[in-house]
């Protein structure tokens, strides 16, 4: 569920008419709904109500400081993947002490930073990493809390670039080697064995791979609890969202109309099948959702620059580009595109939706049918709250877009559009080129 709806034919985020946002802050601009995020968080938390659950929001999905503060206020901690993300949690006033640090390539500097900040757990992905963390913890006179990431070799049946739980992926340690890895870890004097971790992929739309992987790993978890007294089991993130929302058709999103069995994964269904598998463990359960919490809570507003009518093909050239939202170019991802103003009198248009960047890959959609749009019209790419701004770049010397947070009838700029001066701030012309 989300809070982007037409009221009097104007697209609103909660009670804010999005035309007011573009008037004030221009385009392209990301807009996020605080209420949607809060509801997603509470729904997921409630779905596993019988368990001791800690939600560690996977902040790589959307790491704006305002979003982090919102999560912190809701009681979430964070799943972070770099020293930079750790410093973001601190800057937002989040609790590093309840947050976990993931990633296959943690550097010495990042490990040191995380030890000093007192992270709740390092999610270790290899045996050399165990040795490195042990060594650095020893130097600092500390014990490092660790969990080993287990690769259960389960096919998450999602896009190849976001599947992580197959044995050919770079992530984690194979289940068959896990007991030996914990045995090795237990010999290191500066490591504290705190948990077990897994994460099989992103944008999963059925519960089956989650069930399969939890069932595979639970016997190991029981054994590790007995042997080392571990206190948590992190089952990762990965709950998918609906990208084909059919927002334009009215109040109800299309899956509401479908029978339960045909709906994509809901948090309630996720909780209903997973809780019974986890409850008898008597451990704290960590969840690391990213996309589910923020994906449907954001849109990217863009203005039409030109309607270019080619031979047998129309191109709608918009002012957002692959540098602002890379998901279509990178993952062939679908984003619904809707006008800010509904107008039933407008004929339909079939067009490729493209950005201004000098690459054929700078294409958001091919042969998309939408109400006719032309120069100056503003459109919204839906479900752009996750892996949108965080994956933005400055390609073509385009500053990153602005970000706005909505709550009720209030909206505030939470990240200014990047100015040219900021783009070149670190660059200089060396002396030997100045003649
Ligand atoms: C990216 C990631 C997540 C979040 O994945 P979503 O699909 O956004 O829920 C969780 N855990 C780990 C270790 C990750 O790398």
Is 9 within the bounds of a domain?
Answer: no
Instruction: Kindly report the backbone phi and psi dihedral angles of residue 46, in degrees, each rounded to the nearest multiple of 5, phi listed first.
Output: -65, -30
| Residues 277-290: tens digit of each pLDDT | 999 999 999 999 99
382 pLDDT above the threshold of 80: yes
Is 304 within the bounds of a domain?
Answer: yes
Is 113 within the bounds of a domain?
Answer: yes
140 pLDDT above the threshold of 90: yes
Residue nearest to atom 10 of ligand 1 (CA): 237
Is 385 within the bounds of a domain?
Answer: yes
> Is 246 found in the same domain as 324?
no
162 pLDDT above the threshold of 90: no
> Is 300 found in the same domain as 236?
no
**What pLDDT shows up at residue 293?**
97
**Ligand 1 center from residue 90 Cα (angstroms):** 20
Compute the average pLDDT of residues 150-172.
Answer: 80
**Ligand 1 center from residue 56 Cα (angstroms):** 10
Residue span of the structural domain in which 60 resides: 48-288
> Which atom of ligand 1 is nearest the CA belonging to 239?
9
Residues marked as catalytic: 358
Percent of the chain at pLDDT exceeding 90: 85
Is 3 within the bounds of a domain?
Answer: no
β-pairing, 378-381 vs 298-309, is antiparallel
199 pLDDT above the threshold of 60: yes
> Is 322 found in the same domain as 273?
no
| Residues 100-122: tens digit of each pLDDT | 999 999 999 999 999 999 999 99
| Residues 176-189: tens digit of each pLDDT | 999 999 999 999 99
Residue 252 — very low, low, confident or very high, per pLDDT cuts 50/70/90?
very low
Work out the angle at residue 82's Cα, subtended by the Cα atoms of residues 78 and 83, and round it to the nearest 5 degrees.
100
Is 349 within the bounds of a domain?
Answer: yes
> Is 342 found in the same domain as 205?
no
**CATH number reported for the structural domain that contains residue 346 in this entry:** 2.40.37.10
**Ligand 1 center from residue 165 Cα (angstroms):** 11
> Is 370 found in the same domain as 338?
yes
**Ligand 1 center from residue 311 Cα (angstroms):** 43
| Residues 332-374: tens digit of each pLDDT | 999 999 999 999 899 999 999 999 998 889 999 999 999 999 9
Burial 143-159 (b: 16+ CB within 10 A, else e): bbbbbbbbbbbbebebe
> Is 239 found in the same domain as 317?
no
DSSP code for 124? E
Residue 158 — very low, low, confident or very high, per pLDDT cuts 50/70/90?
confident
Residue 157 — very low, low, confident or very high, per pLDDT cuts 50/70/90?
confident
> Is 267 found in the same domain as 301?
no
**What pLDDT shows up at residue 404?**
99
Residues with CB under 6 A from ligand 1: 58, 60-61, 79, 102, 199, 202, 236-238, 288-292
How is the chain split among helix, strand and coil, in percent rounded to 5? 35, 25, 40
Q: What is the pTM of this model?
A: 0.95
**CATH number reported for the structural domain that contains residue 214 in this entry:** 3.20.20.10
> Is 250 found in the same domain as 151?
yes
Is 29 within the bounds of a domain?
Answer: no
**Cβ pair 134, 191 in contact under 8 A:** yes
> Which atom of ligand 1 is nearest the CA belonging to 60?
1
> Is 362 found in the same domain as 308?
yes
């Amino acid at each position: 569920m989300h809070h982007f709806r037409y009221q009097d034919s104007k697209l609103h985020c909660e009670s804010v008419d999005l035309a007011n946002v573009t008037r004030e802050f221009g385009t392209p601009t990301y807009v996020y709904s605080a209420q949607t995020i809060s509801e997603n968080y509470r729904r997921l938390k409630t779905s596993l109500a019988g368990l001791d659950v800690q939600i560690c929001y996977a902040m790589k999905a959307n790491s704006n400081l305002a979003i982090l503060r919102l999560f912190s206020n809701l009681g979430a901690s964070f799943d972070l993947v770099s020293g930079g993300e750790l410093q973001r949690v601190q800057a937002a006033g989040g609790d590093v002490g309840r947050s976990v640090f993931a990633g296959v390539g943690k550097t010495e500097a990042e490990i040191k930073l995380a030890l000093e900040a007192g992270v709740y757990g390092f999610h270790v992905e290899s045996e050399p990493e165990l040795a490195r963390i042990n060594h650095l913890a020893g130097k600092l006179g500390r014990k490092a809390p660790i969990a080993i990431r287990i690769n259960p070799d389960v096919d998450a049946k999602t896009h190849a670039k976001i599947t992580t739980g197959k044995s050919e992926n770079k992530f984690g340690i194979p289940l068959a080697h896990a007991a030996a890895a914990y045995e090795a870890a237990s010999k290191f004097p500066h490591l504290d064995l705190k948990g077990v971790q897994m994460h099989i992929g992103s944008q999963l739309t059925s519960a089956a791979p989650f069930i399969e992987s939890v069932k595979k790993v639970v016997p190991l978890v029981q054994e590790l609890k007995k042997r080392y007294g571990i206190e948590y089991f992190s089952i990762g993130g990965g709950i998918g969202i609906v990208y084909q929302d059919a927002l334009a058709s009215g109040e109800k999103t299309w899956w509401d109309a479908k029978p339960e069995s045909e709906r994509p994964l809901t948090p309630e269904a996720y909780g209903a099948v997973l809780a019974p598998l986890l409850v008898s463990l008597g451990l704290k359960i960590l969840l690391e959702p990213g996309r589910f919490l923020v994906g449907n809570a954001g849109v990217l507003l863009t203005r039409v620059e030109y309607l270019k009518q080619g031979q047998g093909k129309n191109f709608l050239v918009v002012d957002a580009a692959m540098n602002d939202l890379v998901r279509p170019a990178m993952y062939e991802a679908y984003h619904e595109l809707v006008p800010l103003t509904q107008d039933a009198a407008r004929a339909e248009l079939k067009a490729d939706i493209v950005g201004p960047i000098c690459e054929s890959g700078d294409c958001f959609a091919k042969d998309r049918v939408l109400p006719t749009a032309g120069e100056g019209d503003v459109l919204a790419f839906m479900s752009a709250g996750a892996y949108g701004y965080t994956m933005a770049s400055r390609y073509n010397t385009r500053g990153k877009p602005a970000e706005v947070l909505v709550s009720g009838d209030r909206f505030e700029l939470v990240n200014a559009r990047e100015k040219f001066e900021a783009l070149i701030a670190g660059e200089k012309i060396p002396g030997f080129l100045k003649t």
